[in-house]
Structure 1
Amino acid sequence: MFRISQYLREVVEAERTGVYPHPKRHGSPPGPVVIWNLVRRCNLTCKHCYALSADHDYPNELNYAEVCTVMDDLKAFRVPVLILSGGEPLLRADLFDIAARAKAMNFYVGLSTNGTLIDAAMADRIAAADFNYVGISLDGIAAVHDRFRRKEGAFDASLAAVRHLQQRGVKVGLRYTMTAMNADQLPALLRLMKDEGAQKFYFSHLNYAGRGNIHRAKDAHFVATREAMEQLFDAAWADAQAGSEREYVTGNNDADGPFLLQWLAQRAPRWVEDVRQRLQAWGGNASGLYVANIDNEGIVHPDTMWWHHKLGSVRERPFSEIWSDTTEPLMAGLKQQPRAVHGRCGDCAHLSICGGNTRVRAQQTTGDAWASDPGCYLTDEEIGFVSEVA
């Protein structure tokens, strides 16, 4: 996850004080953020679903006792954050029992939902569960969102959910995945975020996994991606200067870091090198390092977009052992710093910032996890790459 607002707030503070506020590190890093797909069933069949979910039960899912055993191991492994997801996690009968246990163990607990099942009564339950954050997916306004979600009325139901939760003081964010089919919706969604008082906007680049892989030919063109990033940077910059607590973050394309440096060079050039140091400390793509996925059957993956690659089952080995096992070739490569990428990524001047970007895109399109990421929207000139082709 690329935290746009965090870096731009630091630049605003530097502009105010004349000193860049480099945060201090304390101790060894914790375990990874775990995105946990507790259930695969979903009431929607979205076009870009990485889990290929549908509205029926799936066999062999972890039961409550197994979830608790895994949770104990995650806590001992110093995992700080659990994002409870699906499918649609609200379709899991013991979701609130799981959430209560996670909160009692002092995890930061997020809920990722499509929002369509959140009426006033469900909003009361979510508020009582004290989730740290609830993310609701919106891919456009009205009919555009409904087409993505393949359900008429989905937008109205999800927007109603945002309002129900806002009224109960729950921290709510909007989650948006951009493709060529909905790239024009971003300005309206950013306005909606402000109008509805949502505290966070998560922009996801389309990744080549699950249904997103099937529809990769409809991914937004690079020009549209750059324009979208500029809109997000502009919005986050304006809010940072105004002292707003709204957050803007992106995911699934770590070229966003180098592109932010280019954007800053036109607006606050004095602080570009300080931000570069911050981005190098961030390190870019976190798959296999600082973000992990456990699916509904207890299979561990390097992140949610790697569902086709299984690292092991928590029914057979603890998560902590699976995650630390570098005899697994993909994990060994993901944990290697710098990663042994080649092509444009290997020669990129920004490799220390983006970490080689999203390896699953390279693997899905070329069969080689270490090839150039086809989703990088920076030009050869911008990354310092000299093509051998005249």
Structure 2
Amino acid sequence: MFRVSHYLRELAEAERSGQYPLPRRRGAEGATAPERRAAPSPAPAPLGGGRHAAGGAISGPVVIWNLIRRCNLTCQHCYALSADHDYAGELDTGEVFTVMDDLKAFGVPVLILSGGEPLLRPDLFPIAERALAMGFYTGLSTNGTLIDEALADRITATGFDYVGISLDGLRATHDRFRRLAGAFDRSLHAVRLLLARGVKVGLRYTMTASNAPDFEPLLDLMRAEGAPKFYFSHLNYAGRGNIHRAKDAQFAATRAALDTLFDRAWDAAQRGLDEEYVTGNNDADGPWLLLWLQRRHPDLHARFGEALRQRLQAWGGNASGLHVANIDNLGEVHPDTMWWHHALGNVRQRPFSAIWPDTRDALMAGLKQQPRPVGGRCAACQYLAICGGNTRVRAQQLTGDPWAEDPGCYLDDAEIGLAEDRPRVPLSAFGSQRTVKVPVVAG
């Protein structure tokens, strides 16, 4: 996750004071804070399971936990390929609690409870209540269509730190994406119910070519409704998102959308508005922020561009296998939610705390290596230390090689410091690529 507002607030403070602010430690939601990650080194870094936070304590990854696969929707870009039926073999309440104990001991700071649709899980609220009592920052990721007055009261009483509700466009677009007439009205109603009760709610949006025209109107809707957070997700090639990857927004549209988002976040930062803008699934957003600053505000770039670059290098880009993890409904552990086709182990057989630092798996060994063993234009990119090689899933899905260049990088060759243009991996339609399973090293 790239916390756009964090960096632009720092820039706004620097503009006012004339001095770039010192790094500030953030709370649990900012567990992947830039000041907590060591800058990439020329040699591979230690392949441990956690990272040292302030005070020397070990901090584990943020865990996105798909507690249930069942969903009342069948969205076009669903990485879990969910449907409205039960899935056998899901972790029961006792097993979930046992895993939570291990996660807490391992130093995991954040649990994002997701699905499928997590509100379909009967024990969701006892799980969330226990997570909060244990001190986890606890978020809920939902499509919002099931939230009525009574459920809004229950969510509020539980005390979730954050609730993310997906809106992939205005009414017609969203209903088409979610394959349900009335989905937009129901989700927006949920947003309003929770905001009225004082719950921190964010809008979640995944951009493709077909819903890109609705992006700016959604930003306007966010501000009009008073929602404090907007999460912009690039399409990643997993599940139905992989099947529909030919509809991914092309590079020019992506660049234009990011400019719009950064402009909006800068306006909020300068005006001191309580709005947070974040992006995910394309770590080229970090370098693009530097380029945006150079183009839009050359005076600020001249004064503070190097300080911003250092902050972004400390962030380090893609966190899959490092500072973000996924547990699916069956207890399989993955490097993140987009790697459901690559399991690292099951929490029924081994605790998460044993699975996560285990680098006998070749993919995990490479993800934990700093810098990562990427090839192609990624290896030659001047921003590798900022983006970390970007999203490895797209490379693997299109080429069969998880260390190939990320075909979703929207920066051109001149921008990344290459002397001449190179052929790019094409964004081919699903089914036209060769997929190779990443080998597991015996140990």
Instruction: Please report the TM-score for the alignment, with normalisation by the length of structure 2.
Output: 0.87
Q: What is the Cα deviation at residue 237 of structure 1?
A: 0.1
1:141-156 map, 5 Å:
141-156=170-185
Does the Cα contact within 8 Å between 1:293 and 1:300 map onto a contact in 2? yes
Distance 2:316 2:171 in 1: 37
Flag structure 2 segments of 5+ consecutive residues without an equivalent. Answer: 25-34, 36-53, 424-443
**Equivalent residue for 2:91?**
62
Distance 2:78 2:181 in 1: 17
Shift in Å at residue 22 of structure 1? Answer: 2.5
Runs of 4+ in 1 over 4 A off after TM superposition: 387-390
2:16 aligned partner: 16
Tell me by how many angstroms 1:19 deviates.
Answer: 1.4
Question: Which deviations, in whole Å up to 9, do the C-alpha atoms of 1:296-320 show, x marking residues without a partner?
Answer: 0000000000000000000000001
Q: Distance in 2 between matches of 1:386 and 1:325?
A: 39
1:175, CA displacement in angstroms? 0.1
Aligned to 1:296: 329
TM-aligned CA deviation for residue 388 of structure 1: 7.5
Higher mean C-alpha deviation, range 26-35 or range 327-336: 26-35
> How far, CA to CA, are the matches of 1:44 and 1:365 in structure 2?
27
**1:27 CA drift (Å):** 3.5
Q: Secondary structure at the match of 1:296?
A: coil
1:238 and 1:388, CA in 2 relative to 1: closer, same or farther beyond 3 A? closer
RMSD, aligned α-carbons:
1.1
Q: Which residue of 1 aligns with 2:30?
A: none
Q: Does the 8 Å CA contact 1:113/1:134 hold for their aligned counterparts?
A: yes
Counterpart residue number, 1:332: 365
Cα distance in 2 for partners of 1:131, 1:388 equals 48
User: What is the letter of the counterpart of residue 337 of structure 1?
Assistant: Q
The alpha carbon displacement at 1:144 in A equals 0.5
Measured in 1, the distance between the counterparts of 2:372 and 2:321 equals 12
The answer to whether structure 1 residue 309 and structure 2 residue 342 are counterparts is yes
The separation in 2 between residues aligned to 1:107 and 1:212, in whole angstroms, is: 30
- Mapped to 2, the partners of 1:138 and 1:388 lie a distance apart of 37
Matched residue type, 1:70: V
**Is residue 2:375 matched to residue 1:342?**
yes
Q: Secondary structure at the match of 1:305?
A: coil
Q: Give me the whole-angstrom Cα distance separating, in 2, the residues matched to 1:223 and 1:62.
A: 43
- Pairs aligned (count): 390
- Confirm or deny that 1:319 pairs with 2:347: no
Contact 1:22 1:278 in 2 (8 A): no
Distance 1:168 1:53 in 2: 30
Contact (CA 8 Å) 1:3, 1:249: kept in 2 or not?
yes
Query: Whole-Å Cα distance in 2 between the matches of residues 205 and 389 of structure 1?
Result: 23
Deviation (angstroms), 1:327: 1.1
Aligned to 1:200: 229
Aligned partner (choices 332, 348, 351) of residue 384 of structure 2: 351
In the TM superposition, what is the alpha-carbon distance from 1:387 to its structure 2 partner?
4.7
Query: Distance between the aligned counterparts of 1:218 and 1:190, measured in 2?
Result: 22
Per-residue CA shift, 1:100-129, capped at 9, x if unaligned?
A: 000000100000000000011100000000
| 1:370/1:389 CA distance change after superposition, 3 Å | closer
1:177 corresponds in structure 2 to 206
In the alignment, the residues of structure 2 paired with residue 172 and residue 356 of structure 1 have an alpha-carbon distance, to the nearest angstrom, of: 31
Residues 195-241 of structure 1 deviation map (CA, whole Å, 9 limit, x = unaligned): 11101000000000000000000000100000000000000000000
Q: Please name the residue that 1:365 is paired with.
A: 398
Q: Alignment partner for residue 230 of structure 1, among 259, 262, 269?
A: 259
Partner Cα separation in structure 1 for residue 67 and residue 395 of structure 2: 28
SS across alignment from 1:109 = strand
* Residues 413 and 421, structure 2, Cα contact 8 Å, conserved in 1: no
Give me the identity figure in percent.
Answer: 73
8 A Cα contact 1:285 1:357, kept in partner: yes
Of 97, 104, 118, 1:89 maps to 118
Aligned to 1:235, what secondary structure does the other structure show? helix
Secondary structure (helix, strand or coil) at the match of 2:72 reads: coil
Amino acid paired to 1:17 = S
2-side partners of 1:232 and 1:104: how far apart? 36
Distance in 1 of aligned mates of 2:74 and 2:348: 28
Q: List runs of 5+ in structure 1 lacking aligned partners.
A: none
Q: Is the 8 A contact 1:38 1:86 kept in 2?
A: yes
Aligned partners of 2:220, 2:255: CA distance in 1, in Å?
Answer: 19
The answer to whether the Cα contact below 8 Å between 1:44 and 1:54 also exists between their aligned partners in 2 is yes
- Distance in 1 of aligned mates of 2:63 and 2:353: 12
Asked if 1:124 is matched to 2:157, the reply is no
In structure 2, relative to structure 1, the CA distance for the partners of 1:356 and 1:389 (3 Å cut) is: closer
- Identify the residue that residue 264 of structure 1 maps to in structure 2: 293
Alpha-carbon distance in structure 2 between the residues aligned to 1:140 and 1:160:
15
2:320 alignment partner in structure 1: 287
Q: Kindly provide the CA deviation profile for residues 27-55 of structure 1, in whole angstroms up to 9, marking residues without a partner as x.
A: 34611000000000000000000000000
- Does residue 219 of the first structure (1) align with residue 261 of the second (2)? no
Kindly provide the amino acid, as one letter, of the partner of residue 22 in structure 2: H
Is 1:41 the equivalent of 2:41?
no
| Secondary structure of 1:382's aligned partner | coil
Q: 1-side partners of 2:106 and 2:227: how far apart?
A: 32
2:192 is matched with which residue: 163, 177, 180? 163
- Structure 1 counterpart SS, 2:215: helix
Equivalent position SS for 1:292: strand
Three-state SS of the structure 1 residue aligned to 2:227 is: coil
1:342/1:370 contact within 8 Å kept: yes
* Offset at residue 10 of structure 1 (A): 0.3
Classify the secondary structure of the residue corresponding to 1:2.
coil
Which of these residues, 278, 284, 289, is aligned with residue 249 of structure 1? 278
- 3-state SS in 1 of match to 2:415: helix
